[in-house]
Amino acid sequence: MFGSLAQGATTINNFLMSADCLATLECFRQMGIHGEMSNVQGPMSNDCKLIIYGKGLCGLKCPTKTLDVGNSGTTIRLMTGILAGQEFETKISGDSSIQKRPMGRVVRPLSDMGANIVGNRGPVTGNSEVYPPLTIYGRQLKGITYELPVASAQVKSAVLLAGLYAQGETRVIETIPSRDHTERMMQYFSIPDYQLPITSDFTGKEVAVPGDISSAAFFIVAALLAQKAELRLHNVGLNPTRTGILDVIRQMGGGFTVENERIICNEPRGEIIVKTQKEGLRGVKLAGEIIPNIIDEIPIIAVLATQAAGVTEIRGARELRVKESDRLATVTAELRKFGAKIEELEDGLIIHGPTRLHGAKIDSHGDHRIAMAMAIAGLVADGETIIENTACIETSFPGFEKLLHSLTI
């Protein structure tokens, strides 16, 4: 996104060839932004390079058809912020799952900035909700100071991106910190975050993307629960707003080490070394400020909790009900098939362990994180596990099955 809005070329090293990223790329192509890929050697390659030829903040053109974000909630919410300040009308939507994702949390602050956005049920009013497809009537925006009612990096990022096009200063206030990749990227591109708008175009840069710790989490847990394993994960992102999974594992008594920590392109990264440690894992209580930091990792944390002694209680995670699936419901339903002792709460989960799991026939519910978490549960379980509807894994982790197989043969 930043490369498309920059002036000139932005080179992205380690570009992830996932469905979400490719859908984002295609949205910008529909608006006149050209990209070139090189060194594409398959979905597991770390060498994919993408060059984006940006045309500046005002360089996007009106698309001729509805922009399709596929399954990417991040794309539709952040893109809505960008499109709100354009000089043209845009329609944006996604798959059936996206069309059930609430957009009011983004539309409300953007409307305060002067945006005109209409969902499939009309404009958002009061406490009403709005869902895709969205029609965004681009117009001049005004800066606002917005205090996030809940910790949400997507809402924060949408407002900051809209602020690039607003008259007057735009600020976002957080009481609970959320992921800060957008602010770090703005700083890297020399955009004064929280002091928007900017007065001139910013220029393209070279970016090296670290490995996603949310994806690494599946293999960290797999290594901890294996019969005998030692696993080293290279170039994993260690942004402090994302490393809650490591804090949780540490609280549960799991062992790992981190080496070669460094900062590249304003993002911390390093190597994570994990050794098998099924004994000594213990249940924990998770609530409050850590929840936004681990929101994507809760399905795999639930798998880990089935093998920990005592009770693991997760609270304040109601946000999981409006992901690709209702993850509180789907994690509960699928882990019970393995024989796990798990209870669904209104805003969380209670898991009793340790429990011996047995193979089961699992439904991913079209949710990539459910599919991958249940695959790791299948490694721990006795007997055969079959996971249906796994094409959704391409959303965030192409090559997951092949990589998992390479580590388990």
According to DSSP, the residues that pair with 55 across neighbouring strands are 7
Find out whether 362 and 387 touch, Cβ atoms under 8 Å: yes
Q: Using CB atoms within 10 Å of the CB of residue 22, give its burial: 0 to 12 exposed, 13 to 18 middle, 19+ buried.
A: middle
Helices 73-84 + 153-163 axis angle, to 10: 20
Secondary structure of residue 344 in the 3-state scheme: strand
Task: From the candidates 68, 95, 296, 363, give the one annotated as an active-site residue.
Answer: 296
Secondary structure of residue 245 in the 3-state scheme: helix
Q: What is the dihedral of CA 306, 312, 318, 323, to 10 degrees?
A: -30
Is 296 designated active site? yes
CA dist 126 and 114 (Å) reads: 16
Residue 219 corresponds to which amino acid?
F
CA dist 99 and 369 (Å) reads: 19
CA dist 290 and 29 (Å) reads: 37
Find out whether 206 and 13 touch, Cβ atoms under 8 Å: yes
Q: Which residues are catalytic?
A: 296
